[in-house]
Structure 1
Amino acid sequence: MILGIDLGTTNSLAAVWQDGRAVMIPNALGQTLTPSVVGLDDQGEVLVGQAARERLLTHPQLTASVFKRYMGSNRTERLGTQSFRAEELSALVLKSLKADAERFLGQPVEEAVITVPAYFSDAQRKATKIAGQLAGLKVERLVNEPTAAALAYGLHEGSPESRFLVFDLGGGTFDISILELFEGVMEVRASAGDNFLGGEDFSELLIDGFIEAVGKARGLSDKQADANLYQALRKQAEQAKRTLSSAERASMELHYQGELLSWTISDSEFLQRCEPLLKRLREPIERALRDARLKAIDLDQIVLAGGATRKPIIRKLVAKLFGRLPAMNINPDEVVAQGAAVMAGLKARDAALNEVVMTDVAPYSLGIEVSEQTAPGRYQPGFYLPIIERNLVVPVSREQVVNTVADNQTALHVRIFQGESRLVKDNIFLGEITIPVPPKPAGQMAVSVRFTYDVNGLLEAEMTVEATGEKHRLIIEDNPGVLTPEQVEERLHALSKLKIHPRELLPNATLLARADRMYQQLLGDERQWVAQAAAQFQAILEQQDEAAIVKAREELKRVLDELEGEGWL
């Protein structure tokens, strides 16, 4: 059985292709969305999902979130006395999804198809595969998130012919893909995106607005200085965003140094503050349409994916940009995971998917650094020569010939980059190799550079010295920030020593974490009600009477729901 996983910035989901359809897998709380949050409880055991998310406010020093943005980098998150890379935190989320799937399916799960943002770099893709390896999953296939969404949408619609754009705005990343469906062939025409733009950025705008309006005058200027305050503000911002979905005004409140700070923002003011982000959303759309040689009017449908597209402000923008309402007949939270399950079914050669063919494109250009002649006999390094240009159908192989620039040059240093900028300093460095060449006059020694880019977004470079036929091959593996095989083994050993909070006890841990958070937020009688209800629940837990625990859990949940509604979901 191959699992389809949407490893998201804010939430992650798992699905499986079963009986001719994508089936969503519930977690230990019976929900399909598992927050991409990892924490340690008071006993040092690992918590993943909603239980960890509830502790973001009460125990920020023991909890990590939004770590997907740092995949493929050397950045670490400190939880108590331990440090974790983004791959390791992601691996713990994947482990949790794997355990949920095995419980749901009643059989071991050893392989998965994992989705990644279309604009994820080579290093970020490798880091995602490493996260799967650390979680005990074989990950041979990565699929771009908007491509997965399009696959789910295409099968759901059942239309023999369609041209549509997938607008995928998640918690931390934004992707655009334009696809064409024709006689069972799903062809990606163009992709574009922004790896640092998502729903979290809209929350940050509200946090910054609150500090600017009422915080600075009270001495609150640095939102990152106090982790507890930041998480309290973040929760208020999330609630304000939800309120603005159906009301013209929303308020944010924060208890700071014995004073209640309050700020109200209108829908129109929020829209004005969002304008820089909305402009960043437009740019990838325009690039993708331009690359696909299409106009907005040529599209049959606009498909929404990602939880952030639930916001009315985003749907209004999409409607304004394209002159029509987007398609909303598939849950935007689940559509990417459904597509991952379809891809898993294709990989497993499920008979129900025999007629489906999927093609994808390289979402960014890949090239090398070259020197350009600025005067007779003078060359300036630092210029970018694309070899594989963005939006070519993958797998793809392309070749360019370069020459030496100095007399009697004995080596050619090839530096590989990803990006669209004219100068390599503005692109992403991927790797390098030095090739020995026979000494000859400048320009007389040629080397052909061939790039091959596969369906997983991984690059292989082959350099051939034309005079000798000698070949040098480089698979881009040692990206800065990507773990080596030896480091992966070391991290596997370290992760195996971590104690994971028992899955069957997660509902209890989640409810108590929610009670602790609400106790910190509330005052007066309401605070005491929460304290008493939580204490009663803990006393019943110690009796280890399952029937009594279930009843007490429902009672505590009822009390918390009355005070807060559905909670921070």
Structure 2
Amino acid sequence: MIIGIDLGTTNSLAAVWRDGKAHLVPNALGSFLTPSCVGMDDDGTVLTGEAARARLQTHPHMTAAMFKRYMGSERETQLGARKFRPEELSSMVLRALKEDAEAWLGEPVEEAIITVPAYFSDAQRKATRVAGQLAGLRVERLLNEPTAAALAYGIQDTKRETKFLVFDLGGGTFDVSILELFDGVMEVRATAGDNFLGGEDFVSVVVDAFLSRSGLSKAMDGTELNGTQRQRLRDEAERAKRALSDSATTRMAYHMGGQQYSWELTEDLFVLLCDHLIQRLRTPVERALRDATIKASELDAVVLAGGATRMPLVRKLAARMFGRFPSISLDPDQAVALGAAVQAGLMARDSALSEVVMTDVAPYSLGISVAREIGPNKYEGGHYLPIIERNSTVPVSRVENITTINDYQDELVVHVYQGESRRVSDNVFLGKLNFPIEAKRAGEVSANVRFTYDISGVLEAEITVLPTQEKHTLVITENAGVMTQAEVDKRLAELSELKIHPRDKIENRTLVAQADRLYEQLLGHEREYLAQHIAAFTAVLNTQQPSALRGARETLTRVMRDLGGSSFL
């Protein structure tokens, strides 16, 4: 069985293709959304999902979130006594989704299609594959999130030629892809995006505005919020952001030091505060349309995906930019996962699906460092020569000719980069190849540099020295910041020694974490009342008697709701 996984910045989902239809997989709590959070319990046991998210407030130093933004880097997060790379944290979320799918399907799951932002770099894509490997999954394919959303909307089933744009704004990343369907071929014409723009950035804007406008920042007199306090404020900002989807105004309230700070946020003010983020949304859209040589008026449809597209300001922006109301018939949180399940069905050659051929593009330009003439016999190094330009359909092969610029130069060094900047110092270094050449006068030795980029994201650089036809090859399968196979094997062994909280007991652990979070919000007799019920539930939990546990769980849940904690459940 191949499952489809939407590995998100804020939430992740799994889906399967079964009985001619895409089905979302419920987790142990009965929800389709699993928060992309990982934490350590007090006894060193690993918690994932809602149980970990609930501890972001109470135990921020023992909990990690938004690590998808750092995939492909060497950044490490300290949880307890151990440090974890983004791939490892992501693998724990993937492992939880794998176990949920196995419990729901009643059979082992070993293969998966994982979606990634279309604008993910080679390093980020390779890191995602490593995360799948660490989770015990064979990653059959990485599917771009906008393409998955298009599959979920059933674009591939249309019988006519069509051009459409997918506007995918998730918790931490933004993608825009322009696709064209003709004769059973779904072709990605162009893609653009911002890997550090998502719903979480809109929340940060609200947090900063509340600090300055509620009087809280002045009261703090230059001191900083600690991890728990800041997460509490982020939770309140998230609630306010969501409230504006249903109302034109909402009031935020925050307690600290026996004082309540409040502030009214209106939809118009929110739009004004987020103007710089709205402009950042416009830029990738304009670039994708320009690269695809398509006008907005020529699009047949605009599809929204990603939970952050629920914000009215985003939907209004899309309507203004494209002169039409976007398609919102699917839950934006679920579209990508459902599309991944459709792709799984296509790979399994399910008879209920009409075959569709999909082509993709290189999200970034790939090139080399060269020296350019800036005056008579005067050269300046560090300039970028793109060989494969962004949005070239893959697989692709391109060649450029280079020539020596120094007399009697006896070595040729080719540095390979990825990016769009004029100077290579602002691009991403991928690797280098150096080899001896015959020492001759400047310009008498040249070479052809051929780049070949395949659908799996592997770049091969082949240099042919002229006129000897001597060939030198560099295959770039690893990037700085991505683990080698030896490192993967080592981390697999280390992860196998971790205690993972049992799936069948996660409901109880999640409830305790949610109750602890509510306890920190309460004061006086309400706080004491909740503490007594948490202690009573914990006592029953230690007995491990199923019948008693059900009743105790219902009692604690009712108490939390009575205390105004429905948002914590």
Counterpart contact for 1:211–1:220, Cα < 8 Å: no
- 1:92 maps to a residue whose letter is M
The aligned residue for residue 19 of structure 1 is 19
The aligned residue for residue 63 of structure 2 is 63
The aligned residue for residue 510 of structure 1 is 510
Please list, as runs of the form range in 1=range in 2, the aligned pairs for 1:304-343 lying within 5 A after superposition: 304-343=304-343
Please list, as runs of the form range in 1=range in 2, the aligned pairs for 1:277-426 lying within 5 A after superposition: 277-426=277-426
Distance 1:422 1:147 in 2: 30
SS in 1 for 2:139: strand
The change in CA–CA distance for 1:375 and 1:98 in structure 2 (over 3 A counts) is: same
Counterpart contact for 1:419–1:428, Cα < 8 Å: yes
The aligned residue for residue 274 of structure 2 is 274
Distance 1:260 1:540 in 2: 36
Cα deviation, residue 112, structure 1: 1.2
The change in CA–CA distance for 1:109 and 1:221 in structure 2 (over 3 A counts) is: farther
- 1:35 maps to a residue whose letter is P
- Residue deviations 1:410-439, cap 9 Å, x none? 222211222222121222222222232222
Cα deviation, residue 159, structure 1: 5.1
Q: What's the TM-score, normalizing by structure 2?
A: 0.96
Distance 2:181 2:173 in 1: 25
Please list, as runs of the form range in 1=range in 2, the aligned pairs for 1:37-186 lying within 5 A after superposition: 37-155=37-155, 158=158, 160-186=160-186
Counterpart contact for 1:11–1:35, Cα < 8 Å: yes
Distance 1:516 1:209 in 2: 28
Cα deviation, residue 384, structure 1: 1.0
Counterpart contact for 1:411–1:434, Cα < 8 Å: yes
Distance 1:559 1:436 in 2: 77
Counterpart contact for 1:211–1:221, Cα < 8 Å: no
- 2:216 maps to a residue whose letter is G
Give 5+ residue unaligned stretches, structure 2: none
Counterpart contact for 1:57–1:232, Cα < 8 Å: yes
The aligned residue for residue 207 of structure 1 is 207
Cα deviation, residue 291, structure 1: 1.1
C-alpha RMSD over aligned residues: 1.8
- 1:17 maps to a residue whose letter is W
% identity of equivalent residues: 59
Counterpart contact for 1:147–1:360, Cα < 8 Å: no
SS in 2 for 1:541: helix
SS in 1 for 2:207: helix
Cα deviation, residue 155, structure 1: 4.8
Cα deviation, residue 529, structure 1: 3.5
- Residue deviations 1:84-118, cap 9 Å, x none? 11011001111111111111111211111111111
Counterpart contact for 2:157–2:354, Cα < 8 Å: no
Distance 2:568 2:195 in 1: 25
SS in 1 for 2:447: strand
- Residue deviations 1:367-410, cap 9 Å, x none? 11111011222210111111111111111111111111111212
Give 5+ residue unaligned stretches, structure 1: none
Distance 1:4 1:220 in 2: 49
SS in 2 for 1:358: strand
- 1:82 maps to a residue whose letter is R
- 1:255 maps to a residue whose letter is H
Distance 1:172 1:419 in 2: 21
Counterpart contact for 2:346–2:355, Cα < 8 Å: no
The change in CA–CA distance for 1:306 and 1:413 in structure 2 (over 3 A counts) is: same
Q: Which moved more, 1:542-551 or 1:267-276?
A: 542-551
Cα deviation, residue 208, structure 1: 1.0
Q: After the TM superposition, list the runs of 4 or more consecutive aligned residues in structure 1 that deviate by more than 6 angstroms.
A: none
Counterpart contact for 2:518–2:565, Cα < 8 Å: no
Q: Which moved more, 1:519-528 or 1:388-397?
A: 519-528
The aligned residue for residue 541 of structure 1 is 541
- 2:75 maps to a residue whose letter is R
The change in CA–CA distance for 1:380 and 1:16 in structure 2 (over 3 A counts) is: same
- 1:105 maps to a residue whose letter is L
Distance 1:357 1:222 in 2: 57
Counterpart contact for 1:122–1:457, Cα < 8 Å: yes
Cα deviation, residue 278, structure 1: 0.1
The aligned residue for residue 453 of structure 1 is 453
- Residue deviations 1:177-219, cap 9 Å, x none? 0111223221111111001000000000011112222233122
Distance 1:566 1:184 in 2: 48
